[in-house]
Amino acid sequence: MVDTIEIRLSGFGGQGLIMASVVLARAASMYESKHVVQKDDKYKREESGLYVVQTQTYGSGVRGGASRAEVKISKKSINYPEITTPDVLVLMSEEAFQKYGSETKPSTLVLIDPDTVAGRPEGDYCEIPATVTANELGNKIVANMVMLGAVTAMTKVVHPDSLKSAMKDLLPSETLELNFKALEEGYDLGKSCGFEIKTDWG
């Protein structure tokens, strides 16, 4: 089990990867911070806070340009915010694959959207048809939440309900039903991959 997990979401501007990273960071920092334990036959609410850092970069063109968002989540204090070699790498464009596809370690979970990425890494990877699934749901913009659902299923880094609470905070109310459905579809796709990372809080 790991006590820190580093996640890189990469693609192009307009795919919503930065929003997905903000949702994940908020879910971990705001909605995964408390739990109930039994102690001496009594239930006691205790703090079990997670430390979270979220960063983002995008090309000058923004929509259509390169986009990268990263989230580092840990049970211990985070002293360095940058990610060098991620535990989870999401690739949603060919440019992202060319730039980040080799920046992995043997244990890195690599998730590829086969509709937007032509290349494939040498090591293990899982194809998550996020764009196709989003289109089937009626709007390709929720491909980000499909992929976020898959990441969550494969890492258990946060509970899906925590993600939904964060989404309620950040997304327009009229889009929530569609985004929730995308998250659930992605979660099912992630479970079917057969890869996982176990955290010591998940």
Q: What is the CATH number of the domain that holds 98?
A: 3.40.920.10
The pLDDT score that the predictor gives to residue 200 is 79
At 49 the pLDDT is: 77
Residue 64: predicted pLDDT: 61
Give the per-residue pLDDT at 164.
Answer: 98
Q: Where are the alpha helices (DSSP H) in 121-196?
A: 130-137, 143-155, 160-170, 176-191
Distance CA 114, CA 92 (A): 8
Residue 89 lies in a domain: yes
Q: pLDDT digits over 143-197, tens only?
A: 999 999 999 999 999 999 999 999 999 999 999 999 999 999 999 999 999 888 8
Q: Is the pLDDT of residue 30 over 70?
A: yes
Question: For position 32, what pLDDT does the model report?
Answer: 87
Q: Cβ(17)–Cβ(90) under 8 Å?
A: yes
Is 103 inside any structural domain? yes
In a domain, 122, yes or no: yes
Evaluate whether residue 56 is within a structural domain.
yes
CA–CA gap between residue 165 and residue 29 (Å, rounded) = 12
* Of the candidates 61, 59, 81, the residue with the CA atom closest to the CA atom of residue 70: 81
- Asked if the model's pLDDT at residue 79 lies above 70, the reply is yes
The set of residues, in sequence order, having a beta carbon less than 8 Å from that of 11 and lying 6+ positions away, is 17, 67, 90, 91, 92, 93, 96, 113, 116
The predicted pLDDT at position 122 comes to 87
Q: Is pLDDT above 90 for 44?
A: no
Does some domain include residue 101?
A: yes
As for how many domains the chain has, the answer is: 1
**Phi and psi, residue 26, nearest 5°:** -70, -40
For residue 162, the model assigns a pLDDT of: 96
Task: Tell me the pLDDT tens digit for each residue of 13-22.
Answer: 889 999 999 9
Residue 83 has pLDDT above 70, yes or no: yes
pLDDT tens for 101-154 read 999 999 999 999 999 999 999 889 999 999 999 999 999 999 999 999 999 999
**Banded pLDDT at 57 (limits 50, 70, 90):** confident
pLDDT of 131 reads: 97
Environment class of 2 (CB within 10 Å of its CB; exposed 0-12, middle 13-18, buried 19+)? middle
Check residue 42 and give its pLDDT. 52
Containing structural domain, residue 135: 4-37+46-191
Domain presence at residue 196: no
* 8 belongs to a structural domain: yes
Establish if 72 belongs to a structural domain: yes
